[in-house]
Amino acid sequence: MDTKSWIENRIKQDEIDKYLDGGEDFINTEEIESVLAGAEGKEPDPARVREIIAKSLNVENLTPQETAELLNVTNPDMLAEMQEAALKVKKKVYDNRIVTFAPLYMANLCVNNCAYCGFRTDNEKSSRRALSMEEVKKEAEVLAGRIGHKRLIVVYGEHPSTDVNYVADTINTVYSAKMPTKNGYGSIRRVNVNMAPIQIDELKYLRDVGIGTYQVFQETYHKPTYANVHPPNTIKGNYRWRLYCMHRALEAGVDDVGIGALFGLYENWKFEVMGLLYHSIELEDKFGIGPHTISFPRIEPAVNTPYVSQCKGVSNEDFERLVTVVRLAVPHTGLIITCREDSEFKDKCLSYGCTQTDASSQIGIGGYAELAESTQEEMRQQFVLGDTRSLDKMIGDYAEKGMITSFCTAGYRCGRTGKCIMNLLKSGEEGKFCKLNAVITFREWLDDFASERTKQLGEKVIQKEIQEIKEKSPEKVYQQFMSNYQRTLNGERDIYF
């Protein structure tokens, strides 16, 4: 099939219409603007803010009205209380764990022409490429065998050369890669996918292949802005095809989905926070399960992409507020902050609200096998990174702050996904499993990959975590944990509860 015919057959209108309510979608621009306007300029009473915070601390989702009120808090003391509450919520649901992953860009071929993207089809200065399966294997071997990653997010443009069959082949290739390490072997145990919206039958196919979280960002929920930056003659120009991709995924049986917005694309960042909330509410209402993760990347410069300079962006101060509010609004959901941010600011957001981040990231096609660590090559990247630390350096930095990096993927392989994981997160029960597995996988990573500095810092964290497990776990659980921990010390790998 030629490219033109392929494009014409991508969107299935019935896979949009079936989810509409009276012909309307769930993002009502006027309603969102009205809710925001109703709270605008009205500093909420401290007692009211604390009332809303109490709901978050009980791991209950906030309403749009409650979220709008928090978005309009400007009192420094109340903002500090909100941030403290965000940390309490995070610890209650996720303990002090940080989950790391690496993005693996498989191809930058794309039929779309998004004004803000370095991969847009009209960008003649972008170096185009799709990895062969041999190249995919080499990338996975570096990530699993040299760096030590266990989770990836694989990324694709939208193009007939990288259709669902290509995606499936690359995922299978990644899962098959195994490399010897200092004491064991390295392999990728969880492959999440960031790709274009696809059809229900294709989602079922990828579900059977074994994808992890299916991640698609709406980019902007503001319909006029969306139309302005996505040409109408492109697949991505169809707002609703993208908006309902998570509905199709959940209907297809994909366990976990991830949503996000590109902050700074539309000038009112508060509108995007509300869009993410409405999206989460919609999925809960229709499927009984909200997003597994929410991402909020900020727009960054890309080669030969002048539109970005027209965007106002989001200040650090406002970004901290939105991270705080999103953590309080959807307390059980994992929040992802990426290496678009510089290391100091990113770590600050991780310290109170976010739970996941990428590390050792190369976003140029073939970058892990072909480029030195921390090297950026703008001609083959979608945007420019702010944090180029190695995974080892990042883990050492987090350990120095008392945080443990978890490489656990046990829940996904034990059926703790979808509604099950959401219920466990809301009750706080999932943290009990994750703490045990976090220590075991951290032990494994330290022995197989850590530098001397990172290992010394990590040992202190591990001993503290083991003491907490001993104090808070039933004796039988603690003994089983210690047995698994000792087996890992002895060289066994991929042991989990």
pLDDT in tens, 368-404: 988 655 555 555 445 578 898 999 999 999 999 999 9
Q: What is the pLDDT of residue 128?
A: 86
| Over residues 269-288, mean pLDDT | 97
Torsion of CA 430, 431, 436, 442, to 10 degrees: 110
The answer to whether residues 383 and 301 touch, using CB atoms and an 8 Å cutoff, is: yes
- 112 CB-side CA count, 13 A: 22
Token pair belonging to 118? 């370095």
Cα separation values, 445 from 87, 193, 458, 480, Å: 26, 24, 10, 20
CA atoms of 492 and 497, how far apart (whole Å): 14
Residue 455 scores a pLDDT above 90: yes
pLDDT band at 172 (very low <50, low <70, confident <90, very high): very high
Strand partners, 336: 295, 356
Model confidence over 85-116: pLDDT tens digits?
999 999 999 999 999 999 999 999 999 999 99
Lowest mean pLDDT among 240-249, 369-378, 442-451: 369-378
CA distance linking residue 83 with residue 353, whole number of Å: 8
Q: Please give the Cα distance from 406 to 69 (Å, whole number).
A: 34
Q: Which residues contact 133 (CB under 8 A, 6 or more apart)?
A: 169, 170, 173
Above 80 in pLDDT, residue 70? Answer: yes
Q: What is the largest CA-CA distance in the chain?
A: 64
Residues 138-176 as b or e (16 or more Cβ within 10 Å = b): bbbbbbbbbbbbbbbbbbbbbbbebbbebbbbbbebbbe
Q: What is the pLDDT of residue 354?
A: 97
Query: What percentage of the chain has pLDDT greater than the value 70?
Result: 93
Task: State yes or no: pLDDT of 324 exceeds 80.
Answer: yes
Q: What is the mean pLDDT of the chain?
A: 92
Domains of the chain: 3-24+94-389+402-426 (3.20.20.70), 29-87 (no CATH), 428-489 (no CATH)
Q: Give the pairing type, strands 214-215 and 257-260.
A: parallel
What do you get for the CA distance between the two ends of the chain, in Å? Answer: 47
Question: Average pLDDT in the 241-253 region?
Answer: 98
pLDDT at 404: 96
Q: How confident is the model at residue 304 (pLDDT cuts 50, 70, 90)?
A: confident
Q: What is the DSSP letter of 219?
A: B
The Cα–Cα gap between 164 and 186 comes to 27
- Residue 404 corresponds to which tokens in the numbers above? 């443990």
pLDDT at 376: 54
State the Cα angle at 323 between 318 and 325, rounded to 5°: 90
Residue 303 CB contacts under 8 Å (≥ 6 apart), including other chains: 118, 123, 125, 126, 378, 379, 381
CA distances to 199, 251, 287, 407, 475 from 18, rounded to whole Å, are 13, 12, 14, 39, 52
Which amino acid is located at 271 in the chain? F
Number of neighbouring beta carbons within 10 Å of residue 452: 8
pLDDT tens column, 120-158: 998 887 778 999 999 999 999 999 999 999 999 999 999
Question: Is 43 in a helix, a strand, or coil?
Answer: coil
pTM of the model: 0.93
| 178-215 per-position pLDDT tens digit | 999 988 889 999 999 999 999 999 999 999 999 999 99
